[in-house]
Amino acid sequence: MPLLLFLEQTLNGLQFGVTLFLMAAGLTLVLGIMNMVNLAHGAFYMLGAYFAATLVPITGSFFMSVVLALAGAAAVGLLTEMVALRTLYSRDHLDQVLATFGLILFFRELVKIVWGPIAIFMDVPDLFSGRVEIVPGAPYPVYRLLVLAVGVTVGGFLWWLITRTRLGMLIRAGASNREMVGALGVDIKRLYTLVFALGCALAALAGVMAGPLYVVDIGMGDDILIKTFVVIVIGGIGSVRGAFVAAIIVGMVDTFGRILPSQFGLSATIAELAIYILMAAVLFWKPRGLFPAAG
């Protein structure tokens, strides 16, 4: 493979990896701490993108639209948690899967009613629409670099939040012994609501960032959701650090899985399988994932 192609695809892989991480961080916390399988996580990815695509022409500012889209998705997440999910924490996983699958259908239909069934497009903001030659001879889109930078920054922020703040300590304590956290005077329900809303905002951020790169449509959340589940299983459920590492690995494997087979004259269908083969291999060697969360 030519070196330039390799470098370009590496950047693409990293950029897809951090997008997956934004999705996975919320999902792994919700599953790891609240023991709640939330299939509707992809809906917040979709909502984030739709909110931002609608807001950009109105506000005229990409940055402002992102902030508002995140706040909007977090608000919808808050409402969803309080109205629907709270009653599901104590139920078994099958009930949770059924109920949150219902939520997927609900949000899809809602989006169809509000925005219509046709995909909408979101432009790359002008400020980031150019290309830059970070490697001489291979101009790379600035916007994709921005996505990468945002993902790494959010990763750093989450690391700080979870390892260095009281909230992070309580999140980790709640993951290992929920009852004891309550018995020491912390309202664990409120903590859960907060974590859930944060996860929704991160999913929405992933959706907003993906908007200009792909297409904003009703199915956008479903495809990434499956890969996100692969990421959190590989990383170790409940572990944000694991989610970060696994997201980068899956992003790379998925990206190179698409181009490597053609380089060797193989069928491209192997690309679709690559990440699942990876997951099976990881589970074989480390059944609890790469970074099992304690507790």
Q: Is 293 in the site for another protein (CB under 8 A)?
A: yes
Q: How far is the CB of 254 from another protein (least distance, A)?
A: 31
Q: How far is the CB of 28 from another protein (least distance, A)?
A: 15
For residue 193, which of 52, 44, 6, 33 has the smallest C-alpha distance?
Answer: 33
Q: How far is the CB of 32 from another protein (least distance, A)?
A: 11
Nearer to another protein, 39 or 175 (CB): 175
Q: How far is the CB of 127 from another protein (least distance, A)?
A: 41
φ/ψ of 273, rounded to 5, equals -90, -25
In SS3 terms, 249-267 reads as HHHHHHHHHHHHHHHCCCC
Q: How far is the CB of 291 from another protein (least distance, A)?
A: 12
Contacts of residues 154-159 at CB distance under 8 Å and 24 or more positions apart, as own/partner, are: 154/18, 154/21, 154/22, 154/25, 154/202, 154/205, 155/18, 155/21, 155/25, 155/244, 158/25, 158/240, 159/240, 159/241
Nearer to another protein, 168 or 261 (CB): 168
Q: Are strands 131-135 and 138-141 parallel, antiparallel or unpaired?
A: antiparallel
Q: How far is the CB of 42 from another protein (least distance, A)?
A: 29
Nearer to another protein, 182 or 261 (CB): 182
**For residues 165-224, which are near another protein according to CB under 8 A?**
166, 169-170, 172-173, 175-177, 179-188
Q: How far is the CB of 76 from another protein (least distance, A)?
A: 27
Tell me the number of residues near another protein by CB under 8 A: 21
Q: Is 90 in the site for another protein (CB under 8 A)?
A: no
CA–centroid distance for 274 within its chain: 19
Q: Is 292 in the site for another protein (CB under 8 A)?
A: no
Nearer to another protein, 52 or 188 (CB): 188
CA–centroid distance for 144 within its chain: 16
Nearer to another protein, 175 or 203 (CB): 175
Query: If you count them, how many residues does the chain have?
Result: 295
Q: Give strand ranges (E) for 164-223.
A: none
Nearer to another protein, 72 or 238 (CB): 238
Categorise residue 137: left if φ over 0, alpha if ψ from -120 to 50, beta otherwise: left
Q: Helix 41-59 and helix 93-115: axis angle, to 10°?
A: 20
Q: Is 116 in the site for another protein (CB under 8 A)?
A: no
Per CB under 8 A, residues contacting another protein are 166, 169-170, 172-173, 175-177, 179-188, 293-295
